Structure 1
């Protein structure tokens, strides 16, 4: 049996594993229709509903011009729609379209399929350990 790492070692190991898995899921298991960053904006709009350009930029920690380029591309493809802000004529509200929702669902399907393919090759005990790890991570992040 391997010794339990101290908390800082475990944190570093988990961070590295989560970051690598996330990066692979964002790039290799994404659709060719939108970039990983554009997919993130679609997911954000799906989860939170319509948002202003400023809200999107702030949530994604990017500058407004960068978010404008992303939204312009998504709008040109018909994946998001712009509308006037109901109370502030200087702002624009961005919302997900049905086509955008379809692209998002396909991307999620591809990511789940990629991950399922990796899990299929694991022994039952390892899959059970990952199941418990996922539960623990969700519990930790819910606090």
Structure 2
């Protein structure tokens, strides 16, 4: 990469975008089992804990009626439930169930398996090079994402 300092962020952004898009397409090749919106919603519930339906819709970038329908489907499948807010029992929040956690865990195992299969087809030197690159890049990307403002953060918490 021979670019000026002004071009460097744009080149890195383009490369990261290409990497992310390619991996996401491959990892999520089996979309019959769950839509990306459903998986994202369950992942958010798992990572952030119970959340109000309106905040969940905003965070996922979908209309509240669509989120209501999605949550109803998740409830019917036993993947999410409405529970009392820990600080205000009159308020109901959406939470992931143990079945939802297990489904996400299985989905993640399958995704890692698809990537591992692709890695196994590469020469050992390429796998080593990717490993070294990931050890360098992953902590940097994690910091970059943690420092970015999170959409839908209704609790007033920092992103870190």
> Normalized against structure 2, the TM-score is what?
0.73
Q: Mean alpha-carbon deviation: is it higher for 131-140 or for 72-81? A: 131-140
From 105, 113, 131, the equivalent of 2:135 is 131
CA distance in 1, matches of 2:140, 2:107: 25
CA distance in 1, matches of 2:93, 2:145: 29
- Give the drift of 1:11: 1.8
Structure having greater relative contact order (Cα 8 Å, sep ≥ 6) = 1
- What is aligned with 2:154? none
- Give the drift of 1:82: 1.5
Contact 1:30 1:110 in 2 (8 A): no
> Normalized against structure 1, the TM-score is what?
0.80
Contact 1:31 1:107 in 2 (8 A): no
Q: Which runs of 5+ in 1 are unaligned?
A: none
- Give the drift of 1:138: 2.2
